[in-house]
Amino acid sequence: MTGNSINFWNTYGQFDAATLRALHADLPSGALTTAQRLASNHPNTTAVALTLPDDADVLSTAISNTDIIISLLPYVYHPTIIQAAITHHKPVVTTSYISPSLWALHDQARAAGITVLNEIGLGPGIDHLYAMKTIHEVHSSGGKVRSFESWCGAVPAPENADNPLGYKFSWSPRGVLLALLNEGRWYWENKVGVRERELMRSARVVDVDGFGLGEVLQGVEMVGLPNRNATGFRDFYGIPEARDVFRGTLRYKGFPGVVGALVEIGYFGIEEIPVLRDDDEGISWLELTGLLVGICMEERTDEVVRDAVVRTVACFIDDEEEVERVVKGLEWIGLFDAETVVDGRGTPLDTLCALLERRMAYEPGERDMIILQHVFGIERADGSMEKRTSTLVEYGEPLAEESRSAIAKLVGLPCAVGVLAVLEGRISQKGMVAPWSTPEIAALLREELKGQFGIELEERVVG
């Protein structure tokens, strides 16, 4: 790479649970020390700690002294970064969706003559590259895309999916959980379907055998959830003829019920409560669960709290065996523990995340797995129909020092390819740009990933 880059990254998305706890206890100095250690392995790299929005001057200076900015912060901070980049006429690359607040900066970025390349990770990212490939091929041959369904899951490899949720965290638990509260929106039979803040109730069993994934998953059942607002991709992808446009998240069966219960109980709450403050004497997990489901202090016995939780779960699950399985999952997490004092972090969500960091971390020797698949319903030029899939299954390296997870590889390498393409002028479009902006941009990034790193989706006609 020619030139210098500055990489803004989120401490809580990068390290294992032990490191996270150390950083939490000593921010920002602990984070800076860790960043300095990582930076010491790379020439022309300097670690700087800053807090947004307080350190605006430090941010501005850092951006002014570089050639390109890579922002891996939570999406809410991207407007601040990009506004400073506009001021100093510096290009930016992110792996996040283009939010409304970023679209609001599109004209300013274009007037400043800078490229802001977004959505170049895994999902969003690699998914766009192969959606655009098939769509461009279909349209070039006179055909039409009548349906588009896309699924992506970052999960433990089947042999390591050994807890009631079938899930382990390879990045920030808070980010994973909050993403589950996003509204789901899609086209089905040319009508808009919507699910607001109750995505777990939209979970449905996914036919992995029909996807050609039965052998990979070794009989493990998968479920799918709506992934954000998919309706815009009918326009972004240039498929106005499509009656169905759906983007979903894959998880192992068991995940939606337990997470849905956590939501209903109140563990996704983001408002501070007194008993979770640092200066409070503390309560047990059983007492906290009882508090959240509305049981008064004198009655927070194991039996009373469990009964209240069962009633809460039964409000959205009508199968008694499934309710029992979900409650056992909550017990495995530790929410009925009457002996352990809660490590309060201010809010129920942050307190829960601190617990999940410990309970649901990858252990040495375990690995993660990525599944990405598109399913296209295609009307050929002659009017006949075709079903086509594009599939990627990637395993991470078994967890050890210096090992790389599948999620790190499939987010990091597309981002790196995008940075080089912008820095070297091969992507020159100004303003807010994504891999779906043009077929040419998608092809450039797709071919680079395949040629340099062997990252590609397997394409098949299946019907």
Contacts for 27 with CB less than 8 Å, ≥ 6 apart: 11
Task: Round the average pLDDT of the chain to a whole number and report it.
Answer: 86
Q: Are residues 304 and 376 in the same domain?
A: no
Q: Using CA atoms, how far apart are residues 206 and 397, in angstroms rounded to an integer?
A: 26
Q: Tell me: do 419 and 335 sit in the same domain.
A: no
- In the chain, DSSP finds a helix count (H) and a strand count (E) of 17, 14
Locate 4 and state its tokens: 């210098």
- Whether pLDDT at 141 is above 80: yes
- The SS3 call for residue 167 is coil
353 found inside a domain? no
* Residue 172 one-letter amino acid: S
CATH assignment of the domain containing 377: 3.30.360.10
The DSSP secondary structure of 261-317, one letter per residue, reads HHHHHTTT--S--GGGSTTS---BHHHHHHHHTT--GGG--HHHHHHHHHHHHHTT-
Give SS3 for 125. strand
Separation CA 198–CA 260 (nearest Å): 8
How far is C-alpha 292 from the chain's CA centre?
27
CA 19 vs CA 16, 276, 409: distances in Å: 5, 22, 21
Per-residue confidence at 77, pLDDT binned at 50, 70, 90? confident
Which among 346, 380, 406 is the end of a domain?
Answer: 346
pLDDT at position 233: 95
User: Is 143 inside any structural domain?
Assistant: yes
Tell whether the model's pLDDT for residue 17 goes beyond 60: no
Percent of the chain with pLDDT over 90: 59
Q: Using alpha carbons only, what angle is made at residue 307 by residues 305 and 309, rounded to the nearest 5 degrees? A: 70
pLDDT exceeding 70 applies to what percent of the chain? 89
- The answer to whether residue 5 sits within a structural domain is no
Do residues 67 and 92 make contact, with C-beta atoms less than 8 angstroms apart? no
Q: pLDDT tens-digit profile of 326-370?
A: 999 999 999 999 999 999 889 999 999 999 988 999 999 999 999
Q: Are residues 276 and 253 in the same domain?
A: no
Q: Exposed (0-12), middle (13-18) or buried (19+): which is 148, by Cβ within 10 Å?
A: buried
Number of domains in the chain: 2
- 188 and 278 inside one domain: no
- Residue 144: inside a domain: yes
pLDDT at 29 over 60: no
**Confidence (pTM):** 0.85
**Residue 410 located in a structural domain:** yes
Q: What is the reported pLDDT for 5?
A: 54
pLDDT reading at 44 higher than 90: no
In single-letter form, the type of residue at position 428 comes to S
- 105 domain-assigned: no
pLDDT single digits (tens) 147-186 = 999 999 999 999 999 999 999 987 777 777 777 777 788 9
Does residue 197 share a domain with residue 149?
A: yes
Q: Is 144 helix (H, G, I), strand (E, B) or coil?
A: strand
Does 309 lie in the same domain as 170?
A: no
Residue 142, Cβ neighbours under 10 Å: how many?
10
Last residue of a domain, one of 316, 346, 376: 346
Question: In this structure, are 301 and 405 located in the same domain?
Answer: no
Question: Do both 195 and 284 map to the same domain?
Answer: no
Q: Are residues 278 and 239 in the same domain?
A: no
Distance, CA of 463 to CA of 454 (rounded, Å): 27
**311 pLDDT band (50/70/90 cuts)?**
very high
Residue 12 CA to residue 171 CA, distance in Å, equals: 7
Q: Which of 286, 311, 346 is the last residue of a domain?
A: 346
| 228 shares its domain with 194 | yes
Domain with 190 in it: 126-257+363-462
Angle at 128 between CA 125 and CA 130, to 5 degrees: 115
Do the domain assignments include residue 306?
yes
Q: What is the pLDDT of residues 97-136, one digit of tens each?
A: 999 999 999 999 999 999 999 999 998 999 999 999 999 9
Residue 198, in any domain of the structure: yes
Q: Are residues 253 and 311 in the same domain?
A: no
239 and 383 housed in the same domain: yes
Give pLDDT tens digits for 224-251: 888 888 999 999 999 999 999 999 999 9
Report whether pLDDT(19) > 50: no
